[in-house]
Structure formats: C-alpha cells, structure tokens
Amino acid sequence: MMRDAPPDDAVLRAVMVPARASDAPFLAGMNTTLLRFDADALWRGVELPVQGRRKAGNVFRFLAEGDTAVSKEDLEWFCEHLVVELAAPPMTMDLQRPGPAEQLLLQRVRGEFGAGIHPNEGRLPADVAEALIRTVRAARQRGIEVTSQELLRRAQLRQDFGAVLRAHPVDRTLEVERPGAVGALVEAAGTAAADGDVLLVTGPPGQGKSWACQQLVEQLTHDGWLVAEHYCYLGDADGDQLARVMTESVFGSLLGRLAEADPGLVHDQRPRFAADEEALANAVATALRKNPVRRVALVVDGLDHVTRVHGGRTRRADPSLALAEVLSSLPLPAGSVLIVLSQPGTHLDPLRQAGAATVAVPPLALEELRGMAERLGLVPLKGSSQAEALLTDGRDVTEFLDALQERSGGNALYATYLCRAVALRPETIADAAATVRALPPYCDSLEDYYAHLYEALGAEADVVADIIALLGMPVTREELGQIVPDRGHRIDRALKVLAPVLSERTGQGEVRVYHESFARYLRLGYEDHPKWAVREYLSGSAVA
C-alpha cells in the first residue's frame, strides 16, 4: 500500500490491470486504487526500442532467463497473491488533528479493540493509536519482533472484559453440603435451559443461598456444563464492592469467565475487549454452536445487594430492579439458562414477567444442622466418640439439635448464630438446649434476634454495636476505646454480648460484623440522617 498515484509509465500500464471486484482495501472504508500484475503479460514481456543508453529488448527478460529466472507457475502464484494499493489517503502525523489515514486508524482502534469503551473507557483511541505507532516504529529501528501480546501490553488495554476479581463469599469452614437442595436446583436448571429460560432461586437473609450457589456451580461444572458465575456481594471488606454491582461488571465478569473456560468463544468478537449484553449473548450462542450437547449456565448471586451497595451513589430508585430489567432482556438460546439468586422482592418482577421459574432454597434439615454443629465443634462427628466436642453426651446432643432446629427454623445464618452463642460461652454448655431455647425463634427474618442482642447491650453499650456497623471495617478494642473513651469500661462486655454476630481476626484483635444483615439492621435508624450518625458517634460521642 502506497501514497503513490496510479502509474503513468507505459511499461507498468502494459503489465498491470485493475484488481478484481472481490479485492478489498487493506483498511475497510479506505478509498484507494487497487491493481494487480498480469502474469501472462509479465511472462510475454514488453519490448522497448533503443533509447539513449538503454538497449533494445524485453525489459522483463530476467523473469525467464539467467540466475533470476522463475517458473511460470511461481510467477502466477505471485500475481495471484499480490494486490498493489495506490492513492492511499494522506497523513497529518498528528492524532490530535487526524487526517484521513489517522481517522481510519482511530476507527479501527475503537471498533476492533474497544478503546474508549468499557472496560477501556479510560484509554482514548488517540492514546492507544499513539502507543501502537511508537511500538511499531521502535520495532523497525531495533529490528525486534512485535507480537500481539506486546502490542496489547504497550497499548495498556484491559483484556479481561472488565471482570472483577473472582472470589466466593462462602466460608468453607462452616459450609454444609446440601445434596438434596442442590439436586433440585440442578434439575430445575436443566428444565429452564431446554428453552433458554431464567431460573430464580430465592430465600430470606441467611437461608444459605450462597452455599447453594457455590455447590450448584460446582455440580453443574462436574456434570459437563459450561458455567460462568458472578457474585454481586462478598462483604463490606471487598475492595471491588461498588464495581461488583455495576451492570457492565456483571456482564464483563460473566463474559470473562466464559472466555477463561474457552478463549475461542470471543476470538471473533468486535470490539474485541468490550463487554455488554450483546457480547455475552453472542458468546453463549457460539458455545452452543461449537458444542450443542454442552449446556451453558450464567449464574448471578445476590441481586438484592445491588441497591444496598449503590445506596445514595445513584439516582435510580432501585438499581436491583434496573439490573433485573437488563437481565430479563438477555436473549439466550435453547441449551442455556440464566440463574439468579436473590432475596424475594419486587425487584425480581421483570424476571418473573419474562417467564422465569422460581425455586425457593429450603431450610436446613436436621442432619444438615448437625453437620454445622459438627463443624463448629459442638457435637461429635456422627458415629464417632470425638472427645474434643463441647457436647459429648448423646442425650445432650439430641436435645441441643432439636432446640437448634426449633429455634432456627433451618435458617443457616441463625443456626450459625445459635451455635456460636453456645460455643463462645463455655458457661452455657451445661444446658446448651436451654440456652438456645431462651433466644427468639426465627420468624422469616433475623430482626427479633438482632433486637434481642441490641436490648441486651443496654443504653451504655449499644454505641459499640453502632460504631462497628457504621464503620463497615475491622476495628480493635483499643480503637473502640479511642472512639468512645467514656464507654471504654463497657467495651469488653458489649463485645461478649455481640460475639455470636461478630468475627474476630485471630492474632490481630480486630472485630467486624459477621454477616451484613446485622450491620444493615443497625443502620436502619440512621438511613435518613447518615451525617448525624457519623458526627454523633465518631466525632462527638465522647462528650456525652
């Protein structure tokens, strides 16, 4: 490809012909002149008369005679594969004032790479184009090979589609295997996938949805499905908390998971590194074309958390609803399913209206509750005489498990709290069942239990719970004492009361809320006055 105009030399015109209609410019959209060499004309040659020092004869004799001779077949191959492109557009050599050539480069950088588009919205097409030009120029000067990976590295483009860090909210030390519940979800997923439908998996706070989600992902993968999962919430300590609930990140993470499993699914995508619902749907369709018998599952856990995390950062009335609307319009082909796990609510209406089937996560059965108690060291492993368990007498174990099922209602989080209420207070072991039964029963939410704890703190110590909830980050006893020095003598007692709903980092002395639902409960009273809450407790509480 050259800037030169079409040849006016008689010899070249004699051996060059217009390119075929199927030949295309090197860059799409470029208005250039395309020519080819005529192999027969070159082989015949062009006879020229004597002119000055030039001798008479065939100027292309070297193609058929002497050390430079080639075969007619090789010449025909060469002419078949060479297209000469002329009259290329001019360059300004300035990407800030681009000419036609630079405009074409910028269009390709944006349209093919996705510069200026999520997740590379921070990389302007001009910046990426300049990086590519510098790289090629340096390669020419130093004679080094330029690879696609080196070009992308220098262009500083994200290649992960904007996926957030892959992590799971499940505490493996407490997780209880739920083969029955997971088996029902696998069956429901298969039914929904037959028609490319949506499956809603719902349950109240603490029901164990994330346990079910993780085990479902693992089971589907084991069964040969192609699975991409995204967790909208991992906890207040998650550095990607806000990014994790952005619509672009949800699609980018799902697309990134598919690409990790099979890079060929996105090889032909344009823009190559952009991520949206269309790109995700195309990747799913490509996966099914490549392997029609392998089903595809897209799993989104924690849709209800989207609105909570956004809080006042968005003008949308209900970001969870907005995301549900986008998900409901995702065109999925037969053989694939979108699985959404969430607390119940009107934010799921768009998915229901789109025909989603709904499956509720069932409460933990008695055997599953026993598994939890075993993991927490409260009861011995079934069939063993584990001396380390806090409860060893068979009758005490049975009474405790009956009380645990009765009070928790099979809610995984409340059952965890109840087990911790016994395990963290050795004085209660003598009558663990009575300790559990003295606590409020589960009634579709944990609010009664949280209210019980808050009342147990008393007016002098409830500030400790408020501070831990409002901070949303780990805090030590010493730091709590510095925040509320006039209540320092009540901190140890408050932390003992709150122990079942707190987690402590071993060796660091830092405590934080174990499950976000407790922090959310405490923040409810301050949602309309967040600045007052922070000022009252973090700035002026010492002057009480």
pLDDT of residue 426: 80
Residue 221 and residue 74 share a domain: no
175, two tokens:
């997780």
Highest mean pLDDT, choosing among 3-7, 132-136, 521-525: 132-136
- Contact between 245 and 327 (Cβ < 8 Å): no
- Contact between 180 and 216 (Cβ < 8 Å): no
Is a pLDDT exceeding 60 seen at residue 57? yes
Which residue did the predictor score with more confidence, 7 or 37? 37
Report, as an integer, the average pLDDT of 326-346: 96
407, two tokens:
């009070």
Quote the CA–CA distance of 397 and 208 in Å, as a whole number: 23
Residue 337 and residue 225 share a domain: yes
Q: Which of 64, 86, 108 is the last residue of a domain?
A: 86
Residue 412 and residue 288 share a domain: no
pLDDT of residue 506: 64
pLDDT of residue 1: 60
Residue 153's contacts (CB-CB under 8 Å, 6 or more residues apart) are none
The mean-pLDDT minimum among 140-144, 174-178, 250-254 falls in: 140-144
Residue 315 and residue 185 share a domain: yes
237, two tokens:
């300590």
**Three-state secondary structure of 34-46:** EEEECHHHHHHCC
In a domain, 163, yes or no: no
Which residue did the predictor score with more confidence, 383 or 521? 521
Residue 133 and residue 106 share a domain: yes
Is a pLDDT exceeding 90 seen at residue 387? no
Quote the CA–CA distance of 176 and 371 in Å, as a whole number: 6
Q: How does residue 537 score in pLDDT terms, banded at 50, 70 and 90?
A: very low
Interval 253-284: pLDDT, tens: 999 999 999 999 999 999 999 999 999 999 99
pLDDT of residue 273: 93
Q: How does residue 544 score in pLDDT terms, banded at 50, 70 and 90?
A: very low
Residue 318 and residue 234 share a domain: yes
413 three-state secondary structure: helix
Greatest CA span in the chain, whole angstroms? 120
In a domain, 214, yes or no: yes
In a domain, 162, yes or no: no
In a domain, 125, yes or no: yes
In a domain, 174, yes or no: no
In a domain, 342, yes or no: yes
Is a pLDDT exceeding 70 seen at residue 27? yes
Interval 226-245: pLDDT, tens: 999 999 988 777 788 889 99
pTM of the predicted protein model: 0.82
Interval 469-519: pLDDT, tens: 888 788 998 999 898 888 888 899 899 999 999 988 766 788 988 888 898
Quote the CA–CA distance of 175 and 374 in Å, as a whole number: 11
What stretches of 283-396 adopt beta strand conformation (E)? 296-301, 336-342, 357-360
Is a pLDDT exceeding 70 seen at residue 76? yes
Which residue did the predictor score with more confidence, 448 or 236? 448
Residue 119 and residue 196 share a domain: no
Quote the CA–CA distance of 356 and 198 in Å, as a whole number: 5
Residue 248 and residue 127 share a domain: no
Mean pLDDT of the chain: 89
pLDDT of residue 526: 67
470, two tokens:
């409002």
The length of the chain is 544
DSSP class of residue 339? Answer: E
pLDDT of residue 536: 46
Total domains, the chain: 5
pLDDT of residue 334: 97
- Contact between 453 and 501 (Cβ < 8 Å): yes
Residue 144 and residue 48 share a domain: no
The mean-pLDDT minimum among 20-34, 256-270, 306-320 falls in: 306-320
pLDDT of residue 49: 87
In a domain, 2, yes or no: no
Q: What is the residue range of 411's domain? A: 366-437
Residue 326 and residue 243 share a domain: yes
Amino acid at 79: C
pLDDT of residue 539: 41
Residue 507 and residue 433 share a domain: no
Q: Which of 437, 467, 497 is the last residue of a domain?
A: 437
In a domain, 69, yes or no: yes
Q: How does residue 525 score in pLDDT terms, banded at 50, 70 and 90?
A: low
Residue 355 and residue 231 share a domain: yes
Interval 396-443: pLDDT, tens: 999 999 999 999 999 999 999 999 999 988 888 889 999 999 999 999
